[in-house]
Amino acid sequence: MRHTVLAGGVGAARYLQGAIEAFDPADVTAVVNVADDVTLHGLRVCPDLDTCTYTLANAIDPQRGWGLVNESFNAMATLGRYGGIDWFSLGDQDLGTHLYRTQRLTEGATLTEVTAEISAAWGIEATLLPVSDDPIETRVTRAGGEEIGFQEYFVRLAHNVEISSVRFVGLEQARPTAAVIQAIESAETLVIAPSNPIVSIQPVLCVPGIESAVRARRAQNVAVSPIVGGQALKGPADRMLRELGEQATVVGIARRYRDLAATLVIDEVDSEFADEIEDQGMRVIAVPTIMSEPAVARALAETCHQAGQAGQAGASP
């Protein structure tokens, strides 16, 4: 059994934690967004990869949802004293990850190789795959016309500004790795995690070859809505959807994913929209999706896998 997840951010990390509880961790693979990666202080920082890594290692800070637990920020305090860039706060322990990653990349290792080394050091049995070893950058245009990097929008401005467009730089040169394509094509179930559809999932799908590989196996694919009751549980996904002219509801999510997945899993609070989602050509499953407890994440992963199996068999879940 292979359970493959298109992943990015906190929602995906929590889903993955449930998946490794529900299944043999060696059967779980995450294809992770790299478009919010950034180089700061000469170091290559990969926020989505690190959030997935620290979560699966049970080392994530539970309050922030990112970074390491019991972290200190002495290096950032010193950097601030000098007037350096300190709006993107990197913990002292977390810096070790970025130092190692940058060292290995400088030595000629691929991001896939470095990610495997970091995962092994944390004792992670699941496979974390960057969607590409090539650099991709999310760029956000503010409503006034200024284009900025994603981390400037998300962290420096606390995603508290209106946007008019999003684009991904570097896609012309980017290619998925062979391991990523294999993970998609060989999966018994492929899950689109409850991540921001615009800046976490879309940059994964936009890497040449990914969307077509996902579409080709639509019947076995399951998407989990990141929108619950018209709101994102964490982050600006709902606002971004509205600002870009889309519907910030489970119906809007169905419109985004209807060509990619046969099943949409929604929270019970949104069950009233089941008929509208089915009108988009998707099967609907309404279950608890707010992963506030490990048991909920595990049950959600089990539900998704069963839905993918049912899709493969051509039966209703």
Strand arrangement of the beta sheet that strand 28-32 belongs to: 127-130, 28-32, 3-7, 189-192, 221-224, 263-266, 283-286
User: What pLDDT does 317 receive?
Assistant: 42
Residue 216's nearest CA partner among 196, 254, 193, 190 is 190
Say how far apart CA 246 and CA 123 lie, in whole Å: 41
Say how far apart CA 184 and CA 131 lie, in whole Å: 11
pLDDT at 2 over 70: yes
Which helix (H) or strand (E) covers residue 169, if one does?
A: strand 163-169
Using an 8 Å Cβ cutoff, are 179 and 112 in contact? yes
pLDDT in tens, 205-245: 999 999 999 999 999 999 999 999 999 988 899 999 999 99
pLDDT at 188 over 80: yes
pTM beyond cutoff 0.75 = yes
* Unique residue bearing structure tokens 């006034």: 144
What's the average model confidence in pLDDT over 28-52? 97
Say how far apart CA 111 and CA 299 lie, in whole Å: 32
**C-alpha angle 77-60-204 in degrees, rounded to nearest 5:** 100
Higher pLDDT, 66 or 190: 190
pLDDT at 313 over 80: no
pLDDT in tens, 77-120: 999 999 999 999 999 999 999 999 999 999 999 999 999 999 99
pLDDT in tens, 127-186: 999 999 999 999 999 998 999 999 999 999 999 999 999 999 999 999 999 999 999 999
Residue 7's nearest CA partner among 173, 231, 190, 209 is 190
Using an 8 Å Cβ cutoff, are 6 and 285 in contact? no
pLDDT at 315 over 60: no
pLDDT at 1 over 90: no
Say how far apart CA 159 and CA 195 lie, in whole Å: 16
User: What pLDDT does 310 receive?
Assistant: 87
